[in-house]
Amino acid sequence: MSTTTLPTYDIFIDGEFVSPAEDRYLDSINPATGKAWYQVASAGAADVDRAVRAARAALVSPAWAGLTPSARGRLLRRVADGLAARAEDLAMLETNDNGKLIRDTRALYGNLPIIWEYFAGWADKVGGEVVPTVGTNLTYLRREPIGVVAAIVPWNAPINLASHKIAAALAMGNTVVVKPSEITSAGILEMMKILDEAGVPRGVVNVVTGTGADVGQALVAHPGVDLIAFTGGTSTGTAIAKKAAERHVPVLLELGGKSPNIVFDDANTSNAANGIISGIFAAGGQACTAGSRVYLHNAVYDEVLDKVKERMSGIRLGDPLAAETEIGPVAYEAHMNRILDYIRIGQEEGADLTFGGNRVSEGDLASGFYVAPTIFENVTSEMRITREEIFGPVLSVIRFDTEEEVVRQANDSAFGLVAGVWTQNVNRAHRIAHQLDAGTVWVNTYRALSPLAPFGGFKSSGHGKEGGEYGVLEMTRLKTVWVNLSEAPTADPFVIQK
């Protein structure tokens, strides 16, 4: 039992909030104030084991396995209704937890029910198919639940990212153990109350909070887990994939990015400037989709960049709960220091720092974790600030002249998550979109996302899809069944059957 006067969150196992096996709790810090505002259980391997056992038991329980697909769909819709009723609370909670703007979290969580409704619609629509084999066989395919899904999520949009995994998994009849980021646990735990009120049977969704070292690793290694659905950093994804390989457990990896945002000479420069701002300064650049490498055609270089700088000069940095704020704090102190380190590295590498580049700590912002929007020019492809994910409001700007040159530079990256293309030429738009190594390409828009559309990266940005039918099918295993319909004597046993 925690002894603090702060609000305290326990872990959620088998339909109840329970204390962790070891009596340990972590402070959760509000990044706008630098102060602890709740405590959350710092669980360990014993708690993970309990949660996975609960999820395994629920998987075959009549209360869950006995539900018809239509009933599962109705249940997910009830969750959607519960989330709609609590959208404002969830938005406030996440803003206090990770510093995302309240206007952004209101938009994110106003739309949260859509995720649940979308996957609810799939609950009774995924069937099998019959394969046209020759001979006397009936050969058919079954889509079955995979089993217990470990959903491991980061801090930058925790309730949203967890919802994609949980709703898709439940739609297909799986059960889930969620591991939130230790930076932002409260929202996902609050969501469990809504699932419970909606009637999700006990053990179907469990949440174990704590660090990656204590909880994440134990969950990945647990023999009762059948699929690991991970969103987070690329190096963590690599460690998880290696561990999972020891047990041959499938992994879905939604990892980091260093995404190119390309502006051609025929682009609408005002829209492109807004797309650049949305790509790198919205959410303080703390988005996997951050358009952190901007490629500007020489003919529009000054015009576009002047528009970006003009808009950013009047930017309102401050309290993320204030309606007029445009950039809030970054999520936690160590992360702020990492971003500031990268700004120093960029200067040491010889890039020109032409905008921002500092911590902002005047007046009310003194104890919060604020970084000024930052622009580097005269950047080369070799610099670390062009190659590594910073996950903050730091933009590298590069000039180009030809399509061939910009496609080569854009693809010269370990990552392949998303890309932006700004042009009025429809032929060029499609031509470039087809050549880019990115799981999602946006043409004349940026940061457009929907649960209806599959999302997932190439190369070091991961593999597997979330969203759309493809994301739903990731939550199933495919079984092939052969049935011999013939009454005739068995064929030659030494010859392969067909």
Catalytic residues: 254, 288
Of the candidate residues 72, 100, 106, 179, the single one contacting ligand NAD (CB under 6 A) = 179
Is residue 217 at the binding interface for ligand NAD, with CB under 6 A as the rule?
yes
Closer to ligand NAD by CB, 311 or 463: give it. 463
Binding segment (CB under 6 A) for ligand NAD, from list 146-154, 348-356, 376-384, 490-498 = 146-154
Place of tokens 């490498």: 293
Residue 492's SS3 state is coil
How far apart CA 318 and CA 324 sit, in angstroms, is: 9
Smallest distance from ligand NAD to CB 463, Å: 11
**Residues 60, 84: Cα–Cα separation, whole Å:** 30
H or E element at residue 481: strand 476-484
Q: Can you spell out the DSSP letters for 353-408?
A: EEE--SB--SGGGTTS--B--EEEES--TTSHHHHS---SSEEEEEEE--HHHHHH
Q: Least separation, in Å, of the C-beta of 283 and ligand NAD? A: 10
d(CA 340, CA 356): 11
Residue 305 or 340 with smaller CB distance to ligand NAD: 340
Q: Are strands 129-131 and 137-145 parallel, antiparallel or unpaired?
A: antiparallel
**Closer residue to ligand NAD in complex, CB, 95/234:** 234
DSSP 216: I
What is the DSSP-derived secondary structure letter of residue 494?
T
CB of 53 to ligand NAD, least distance (A): 19
Counting Cβ atoms within 10 Å, is residue 487 exposed (0-12), middle (13-18) or buried (19+)? exposed
Q: Under a CB-based contact definition with an 8 Å cutoff, are residues 419 and 410 in contact?
A: yes
Among 55, 178, 220, 343, binds ligand NAD (CB under 6 A): 220
Query: Does position 105 bind ligand NAD by CB under 6 A?
Result: no
Binding span for ligand NAD by CB under 6 A among 50-58, 186-194, 214-222, 445-453? 214-222
Is residue 181 involved in binding ligand NAD (CB under 6 A)? yes
Q: Is 369 in the site for ligand NAD (CB under 6 A)?
A: no
212 lines the binding site for ligand NAD (CB under 6 A): yes
Task: Select the residue interacting with ligand NAD from 160, 185, 236, 261 (CB under 6 A).
Answer: 236
Interface with ligand NAD, residue 257, by CB under 6 A:
yes
Q: Can residue 185 be called a binding residue for ligand NAD (CB under 6 A)?
A: no
Taking the CB of residue 3, how many other CB atoms lie within 10 A of it?
8
288 binds ligand NAD (CB under 6 A): yes
**Residue 222: half-sphere exposure toward Cβ, Cα within 13 Å:** 28
Dihedrals phi, psi of 397, to nearest 5 degrees:
-115, 130
Per CB under 6 A, 154 contacts ligand NAD: yes
Q: Are 126 and 193 in contact (CB under 8 A)?
A: no
Chain centre to alpha carbon of residue 106: 18
Q: Between 243 and 399, whose beta carbon lies closer to ligand NAD?
A: 243
Q: Which is nearer to ligand NAD, 201 or 232 (CB)?
A: 232
Q: How far is the CB of 15 from ligand NAD (least distance, A)?
A: 23
Which one of 232, 356, 373, 467 is in contact with ligand NAD (CB under 6 A)? 232
- Strands 8-9, 458-459: pairing is unpaired
Q: Report the nearest approach of ligand NAD to the CB of residue 115 (Å).
A: 14
When asked if residue 34 is in the footprint of ligand NAD (CB under 6 A), the reply is no
Are 421 and 442 spatial neighbours (Cβ–Cβ below 8 Å)?
yes
Please name the residues in contact with 306: beta carbons below 8 A apart, sequence gap of 6 or more: none
Considering only 52, 59, 79, 152, the residue that binds ligand NAD (CB under 6 A) is 152
Question: What amino acid is encoded at 111 in this protein?
Answer: N
- Cα–Cα distances (Å) from 2 to 26, 64, 181, 242, in that order, read 10, 33, 20, 35
Residue 209 found at the interface with ligand NAD (CB under 6 A): no
In the sheet with 394-400, reading across from the earlier edge strand, the strands are 352-355, 374-377, 394-400, 293-297, 260-263, 418-422, 440-443
The reply on whether position 147 binds ligand NAD by CB under 6 A is: no
Name residues contacting ligand NAD, limited to 458-477 (CB under 6 A). Answer: 462
CB 472 within 8 A of CB 170: no
Q: Which of 262, 305, 302 is nearest to 413 (CA)?
A: 262
CB of 454 to ligand NAD, least distance (A): 12
Give whichever of 152 and 172 is closer to ligand NAD, judged by the CB atom.
152
Q: Is 254 among the residues that bind ligand NAD (CB under 6 A)?
A: yes
Residue 137 CA to residue 129 CA, distance in Å, equals 14
Of 239 and 353, which CB lies nearer to ligand NAD in the complex structure? 239
Of the ranges 4-12, 185-193, 211-219, 403-411, which one interacts with ligand NAD (CB under 6 A)?
211-219
Q: Which one, 153 or 186, has the nearer CB to ligand NAD?
A: 153
- What the block records as the tokens of 293 is 């490498």
The answer to the question of residue 160 lying near ligand NAD (CB under 6 A) is no
Nearer to ligand NAD, 117 or 389 (CB): 389
| Closer Cβ to ligand NAD, 152 or 406, answer by number | 152
Q: How many residues would you count in the chain? A: 498
Number of residues that bind ligand NAD (CB under 6 A): 30
User: Pick from 39, 95, 96, 156: which binds ligand NAD (CB under 6 A)?
Assistant: 156
For residues 5 and 247, give the distance between their C-alpha atoms in angstroms, rounded to a whole number: 43
Task: Indicate whether 95 belongs to the interface with ligand NAD (CB under 6 A).
Answer: no
Interface residue list for ligand NAD (CB under 6 A): 152-156, 161, 179, 181-182, 211-212, 216-217, 220, 231-233, 236, 239-240, 254-257, 288, 389, 391, 417, 457, 462
